[in-house]
A and B are shown apart, each in its own frame.
Chain A
Amino acid sequence: MLHMWEMPEPRQLAERNNTIPVILQAMARPMLAGLACGLAGLYAAFVGILVLMHGRVIIVDVLTLGQCVLLLLGLAAGAKSRTATATRAILPDLARGAVAGSVYGAALACGLALFQIAFLRTVLVSLSPELRRMLSFGLESGPAMVTLVVAGGALGVAGSLWSRLGGEQRRATLTAATAVIVAGTLQQLLQTVLQRFSFTKAIGDLLFSWAGLKWQGALLVGAVAAVVGSLWPIAKREFGARQPTLHALLSDNRSAFQLALLLLGLSVLPALAGPYIGQVLLMVALYTLMGMGLNIEVGLAGLLDLGFVAFFAVGAYATALLTADSSVALSAYTSIPALSFWLAVPIAVALSVIVGVLFGLPVLGVRGDYLAVATLGLGEIVRVIVLSDFAAPILNGAQGILQVPRPFVGSVELSSPVSLFYLTLVCSMFAAFVAWRLQASRLGRAWMALRDDEEVAQALGVNLVKAKLLAYGLGAAFAGLAGAIFATMLTSVYPNSFNLLLSINVLALIVIGGIGSIEGVIVGAILLVGLPELLREFGEYRFLFYGAALIAIMIMRPRGLWSTSRPSGAMPGGLR
């Protein structure tokens, strides 16, 4: 839409022969850029997220996350003030930057002015004294508004100067800024890791004080990131020249090495970072395991399943009923002895597979969107049955089943999140291996054919019933395994844990990661399960981030973050 406001051609300018409209036209783009950034800032302020971010210190006594956002918006206004067709002369550039920045500052100043209207506070609860303090630098309203406009202008100039830099310098500064912000935001995580070992403690003390980065630390982090960021391509080129064979090997198997690095990181991190991170990663691994299962159904066989949570519930309840040390467990009123976790898991998985196949039977002939709705219903049925009076004598209704024991290895109880994480990691790696082998197999090809064109697949000899039921069964197996771990992790199961949102989360993570991609499942789980946990202090707002991130990813990477090399969009070949 902005192109309507681009700088007019010089010839057009001459024709108009009237300076004021010409200047206005030339400044339309910067003003729009400033206004857009200003509105973004005001939105963040009125939603309340800005104050919240203001509470997170990035650099002690210098900068908070909230201020970071305001600064970056100002810089962005300046950087975006020039159209692609405009001249690159420095003075017009600076003028445009200044205008964009001032408009941005003015927008914030307008926000500040709203504080004068007393009754607004009752409507916009976020117009808090903290927000006022933050926007006004502790000044009176008048001077504060002037300061905002002037500071905005300065930021805009800085932004436009930045946009004049060469590509490498821009990348280096961007890397440095990102590194500082990430280090500051995740300072708790980094500090706990660094404080655990004596040799890293010194680094930690150098970079961080208890509240955030020290300014020296920020400089150091930024500098290191910039240097590494700008040396990386050079180092890669050097390496390619000196070790051509090794370099070729690495770049040919790039995704395999990236995956290996990712796994290595995942397996070492919790041991270093302690129980909290262990718990977060346990959830990531659990969702990865479920994602692997759903990916077989959705990614390979193209069966859009929104009732996936049912299999997870079956695995969890089966484990709980077989192992629990309580009056509702099977051992309490039948002759079945209370089993250990390891004996219960195969039974739980087998039961999940059976439920998966039973689940698939009624929807064999249902396709696409209709399948999604049908499976949604089936998933709800399972939850309602668990809650019902009918099943209450066995499943204990809403009270759930308590005192599910933890697994033992020898005499060691796997009770800590970190040890459960490793158990889950092994399971999800196994699931990933199975999925990987299946992809290249005859069955995998049959699934993909089914996904692309059911009728032709059938005409080529694919047994539709068998292939579909196998997909449901295998997907359910992984979900059941995840459910078993879930039950022992919480040491209890409640019907409320198994709602629709879980199915949707698992589906979202495989879409974000890239449908059909095994690595994508891991990346999606980290992003959708891990990050929200780390951002927990932002409370409900993290779902705002979550939603915004989902939309942004789907716009920028419609095939997912780590998509397979296959195109997944509509192809011209699909003549139907």
Chain B
Amino acid sequence: MRLTQNSIAGLICLALSIGMLVLTRGLPQSSFVPVGPDFYPRIVLVIMAVLSVLLIVIDLRQQAQGTEAPAAATPEKRNYRLVGVTYAIFTGYVILLPLVGYRAATVLFVAALQAVFESPRGARRWAMVLVSALASSFVTYVVFNDYLSVLLPRGHWTGW
């Protein structure tokens, strides 16, 4: 027996539902209301736990019988490194937004992500990346801040 994708997903959901079920203990009850604030969450979490167990059991049974659901027919090559880098850059963007403000953070974010996607070579390509990032930041700022009255974040460090 090995832990397949479905078993892992089932275990994660089971752990989450049990963890949250534990947290429902100690929620204050009221004498005016027939059911407390824990009533509905417990129903949902028990259903989630039961379904998680079912997912694991079905997966283990399929493994034992050798009748696992066939995986996607065409396993394409996936660039997970790029996904990881994208998440890292996006997390940096979320951290930088309140510190340096929307305009600067957006220039940095768009330029960084485009550079990762394109791997620009030569001054001309880099200049295009920079121009594209500046344009993105400028256009969205003007459209949202000036025309659509959406106040975009200002930086604590920069003041703009």
**Are both chains from one complex?**
no
